[in-house]
Structure 1
Amino acid sequence: MRVATTVDDREPAGVAAAVRDHPDVTEVAVDRLSAGDLAIGSVGVERKTPRDYVSTAMGRSGPALEDQVERLAAAYDHAYVLVEGEFRDFETLRTGVSPASIRGSMASITARHGVPVVPCGDLDGLVDFAVRLGRKHVEDPSSRPLPTGAVSSSREPTPKRMYGCIEGIGPQLAATLYERYPTVEALLEADLADLTEIDGIGETRARTIYAAVRGIDSEPGSP
């Protein structure tokens, strides 16, 4: 599936060029966005370099990231902050802010606003991830339209919404999973035996969930 993308006209020219070079982008418009730096269908992206992230998130200079995030979440069905860097890049920044505090702010934005903050490496990695987000929010692995209510509201906690996107897990089972495992980290600690203790989850679904949260294929004989 290919998507059209809008790049905010205040972004550096290299951003639009990277978007144009992506094989899954049909067309690129450069225009003024009311919120965010990239718009792909119902997905809005705020792009940050590590230094820019610290400056806006930790109140060093420029507009407050929290305000940007609130506008982003109000303007789009699905909002993300994508960082053009890795966690390790924050270790070498001379900003006077500890890397632990920076990671804490990322967790806070993700948990409190329901807007995931994702380090993506370089610009090409960020654009690729943004395009994939735009695609995944409109396509189903089976190519069938999602039934009404299959995906939780954007107001729901992010982990609960993520659980509802796992193949074969509807809103009700996603809610049950969320009650047992309110964070993805908690779900990652569960083994197959733990998952099969939950009503409505047999061995097949347990393996699907186990694989989905680890980003691997669910195959017979996998741990």
Structure 2
Amino acid sequence: MSEDSTITILADRRESVSGLLPRLQELGAHVKVGDLEIGAFVISGAVAVERMTAAEFVESIMDGRLFHKAGKMQLNFARSVFLIEGDVYSTRAPIAREAIDGALSFLVCVEGASVLYVRNPTATAERIYSLAKQAQKNLGHDMAFQRVKVSPGRQEALFSIESFVGIGPSTAVKALEGFRSVFAFVNASVQQLMSISGIGQKKAERIYNSIRWEDGQENEPGGQQDSSPSGTQHRE
């Protein structure tokens, strides 16, 4: 393959240990490794790919990360693809089948994402290469790493608030309307956080604690303690 027709794939640094990169290179791809803010791979300026095992996919539904991730991908790329390795219905995670179905439907119908299933990492690499080859037909220019551009202002503020545990899109909107800024939100007391519909005491304490946690402390930071049982997730 000539240099002009080489398929270039941008890979997030966390994929360096996945075993996918050597296979992509064997297939003929030029792989550039760096720090991507969203997605595991960027296969063109318009298409980002997130690779997840079935267990990781289900876990991201349970803790809400999937929906935040999908929103950022949709905001910054014309097309987003979720590659899932394995069977999402056979992970033995404590989640209802309806919740998985709902998450998949949300990705496709609301976020406009494509969801593809693959058997294993080798199949994942081959699928990514095939997608990149199609996406880069007649591309005509080099790809380069760049930070994901989130629209400044309200959208950026909402994504910042959604990044906190237990805060989904609807609660983020209420929080921003109530506090008016991310700065006011992160400096709020437990009582002030509880003034937002959808944030109860336990969730407010957990948000308060997570903002004030310092590296090197025990799992539960000092001050306002999270009184929820160990391992319990409070989600919307």
Normalising to structure 1: TM-score of the pair?
0.53
Q: Deviations 1:92-114 (Å, cap 9, x if unpaired)?
A: 31111133431331122111000
AA partner of residue 54 (structure 2): P
1:18 aligns with 2:16: no
- Counterpart CA distance in 2 for 1:54 and 1:75 is 24
Counterpart in 2 of 1:102? 100
Q: Assess if the C-alpha contact under 8 Å between 1:4 and 1:40 holds in 2.
A: yes
Alignment partner of 2:32 out of 14, 20, 29: 29
- Counterpart CA distance in 1 for 2:67 and 2:23 is 27
- Counterpart CA distance in 1 for 2:28 and 2:101 is 31
**Count of paired positions:** 132
- Counterpart CA distance in 2 for 1:35 and 1:90 is 22
- In structure 2, runs of 5+ residues without a counterpart are 139-236
Structural RMSD (CA): 2.0
> CA shift at 1:71, angstroms?
1.5
Alignment partner of 2:49 out of 45, 52, 72: 45
- Counterpart CA distance in 1 for 2:42 and 2:68 is 18
Higher relative contact order (CA 8 A, sep 6+): 2
Q: Assess if the C-alpha contact under 8 Å between 1:83 and 1:120 holds in 2.
A: yes
Counterpart in 1 of 2:85? 84
Q: Assess if the C-alpha contact under 8 Å between 1:16 and 1:30 holds in 2.
A: no
- Counterpart CA distance in 2 for 1:131 and 1:77 is 19
Counterpart in 1 of 2:122? 124
- In structure 1, runs of 5+ residues without a counterpart are 141-223
AA partner of residue 25 (structure 2): R
Counterpart in 1 of 2:157? none
Q: Assess if the C-alpha contact under 8 Å between 1:53 and 1:83 holds in 2.
A: yes
Distance 1:24 1:104, change over 3 A: farther
Q: How does 1:144-183 map to 2 (within 5 A)?
A: none
- Counterpart CA distance in 2 for 1:119 and 1:111 is 17
Q: Secondary structure at the match of 1:40?
A: strand
1:58 aligns with 2:84: no
Q: Percent identity between the aligned chains?
A: 20
AA partner of residue 8 (structure 2): A
> CA shift at 1:40, angstroms?
1.2
Q: Secondary structure at the match of 1:119?
A: strand
AA partner of residue 110 (structure 1): V
Q: Secondary structure at the match of 1:46?
A: strand
